[in-house]
Structure 1
Amino acid sequence: MKRPRLRLRRQRAGQLEPPRPPRPSRSGRLRLPRTRRGQRLIAQAVMVGTVVALAPATWMHTTADGRVRAASEVPAQDVAMVFGAGLWNGRPTRYLAHRLDTAAELYRAGKVKVVLVTGDNSRAEYDEPDAMRTYLTERGVPDGRIVSDYAGFDTWDSCVRAKKIFGVDRAVLVTQGFHIRRALALCDSAGIESYGVGVEEPRDANTWYYGAREMVAAGKAALDAAFKPDPTFLGDQEKGVQEALASADG
Structure 2
Amino acid sequence: MHRPGWKTLTAVAVGAVIVGVGAPLAVTSVGSAGRVHTVDELAEQDNAADVAVVLGAQVHPDGRPSRYLRARLDRAVELQRRGLVKVILVSGDNSTSHYDEPTAMKRYLVEAGMPEGKVVIDYAGFDTYDTCVRAKRIFGLERVVLVSQGYHLPRAVTTCRMVGVDAVGVGDWSVQRIGPMDGVPVLWRLGWSRFAGRELPANVKMLWDVASRRTPTLGEPETGVSDALASS
TM norm structure 1: 0.81
Aligned position for 2:201: 216
Deviations 1:78-119 (A, max 9, x none): 100001101012111000000000000000000000000001
Aligned position for 1:189: 162
Aligned position for 1:3: none
**Structure 1 segment 72-111 matched on structure 2, within 5 A:** 72-74=40-42, 75=45, 76-88=48-60, 89-111=62-84
Shift of residue 234, structure 1, vs aligned partner: 0.6
Aligned position for 2:220: 236
Shift of residue 62, structure 1, vs aligned partner: 1.1
Shift of residue 198, structure 1, vs aligned partner: 1.5
Q: Report SS of the residue matched to 2:152.
A: helix
Relative to 1, partners in 2 of residues 1:40 and 1:153: Cα closer, same or farther, differing over 3 Å? closer
Counterparts of 1:68 and 1:99, CA distance in 2: 14
Q: Over aligned residue pairs, what C-alpha RMSD do you find?
A: 1.6
4+ residue runs over 4 A deviation = 38-42
Aligned position for 1:69: 37
Deviations 1:120-149 (A, max 9, x none): 111112111111111001111100001100
Aligned position for 1:4: none
Matched, 1:205 2:190: yes
Matched, 1:176 2:176: no
Bigger CA radius of gyration: 1
Shift of residue 44, structure 1, vs aligned partner: 4.9
The one-letter code matched in structure 1 to 2:84 is K
Unaligned runs of 5+ in 1: 1-31
Q: Report SS of the residue matched to 2:176.
A: coil
Aligned position for 1:226: 211
Bigger relative contact order, structure 1 or 2 (CA pairs below 8 A, ≥6 apart): 2
Deviations 1:180-237 (A, max 9, x none): 1111011111211011011102262111110111111111011112122110x11110
The one-letter code matched in structure 1 to 2:59 is L
Counterparts of 2:137 and 2:24, CA distance in 1: 25
Counterparts of 2:9 and 2:63, CA distance in 1: 55
The one-letter code matched in structure 2 to 1:114 is V
Q: Report SS of the residue matched to 2:159.
A: helix
Counterparts of 1:46 and 1:152, CA distance in 2: 35
The one-letter code matched in structure 1 to 2:228 is A
Counterparts of 1:84 and 1:43, CA distance in 2: 40
Aligned position for 2:180: none
Aligned position for 2:97: 124
Shift of residue 40, structure 1, vs aligned partner: 5.9
TM norm structure 2: 0.87
Relative to 1, partners in 2 of residues 1:43 and 1:134: Cα closer, same or farther, differing over 3 Å? same
Unaligned runs of 5+ in 2: 178-188
Deviations 1:144-171 (A, max 9, x none): 0011000111111111001000001000
Shift of residue 42, structure 1, vs aligned partner: 5.0
The one-letter code matched in structure 2 to 1:82 is V
